[in-house]
Amino acid sequence: MLFGHSSGLAIEAVPGPEAGLPRFVGSSLAGRMQVHLAGRIVGDFNEPCCVFRPLADHLTTICACSAGLWHESLDGLRPYEMFESLDRACFQGQKEPYPAVFNLMGFLTNVSECFNNAKGFVVAPKPGVLLTLVQLQDDVFFSCEITVAEWCAASASFAAWLLDEERAHAAG
């Protein structure tokens, strides 16, 4: 199933079960998933039993916080420079304190094992626009702009479908 549009933000989810693997882990649906960002695909579809709930929560939280995903220290930086600054602060043990808002800018990192090949951030450089900053394990970097409206529509669609699936499982 594809939620959103692959030309912007889309979440692709294929629920389990597969041979010997559960369809639900606890109360959350599991299976294969990946994220499409302006035609680029992030996520290892070979991971067969990823829990969907953390991704749904992650994407809807970014939507809810979108207006605050910026800090003046990023002004004037190119996308890769923003990535480097955020990565240095959040993951490389920068000694000087960094703005707390940086912690909200993480994207896909530590969300699911299917995204272990990526490190990302999302910022809001101008009203109504989110900019994703993603570096893949093979040091390929890319960025793309997605409107907040498109982000929120795709995230809400995925989260609503997931909630329906989880409720049906709980009632069943």
Rounded to the nearest integer, the mean pLDDT of the chain is 94
Q: Three-state DSSP class for 59?
A: helix
Residue 124 CA from chain centroid, whole number = 14
What are the structure tokens assigned to 16, written together? 């389990």
Q: How far apart are CA 10 and CA 37, in angstroms?
A: 7
**Helices 148-171 and 53-65, packing angle to 10 deg:** 140
Whether the predicted pLDDT of 48 surpasses 90:
no
Q: Which residue has the tokens 């009203």?
A: 127
Percent residues over pLDDT 70 in the chain: 99
pLDDT tens figures, 108-145: 999 999 999 999 999 999 999 999 999 998 889 999 99
Beta strands in 59-114 (DSSP E): 106-107
Q: Tell me the domain boundaries of the chain.
A: 2-171
Written as one string, the DSSP assignment of 40-95 is EEES-TT---EESHHHHHHHHHHHHHGGG---GGGTT--HHHHHHHHHHHHHS--S
Contacts of 160 (CB under 8 A, 6+ apart): none
Structure tokens at 130: 């989110």
Q: Where are the beta strands (DSSP E) in 104-159?
A: 106-107, 118-126, 129-136, 141-147
* Overall pTM surpassing 0.85 (yes/no): yes
CA angle 99, 116, 37 (to 5 degrees): 75
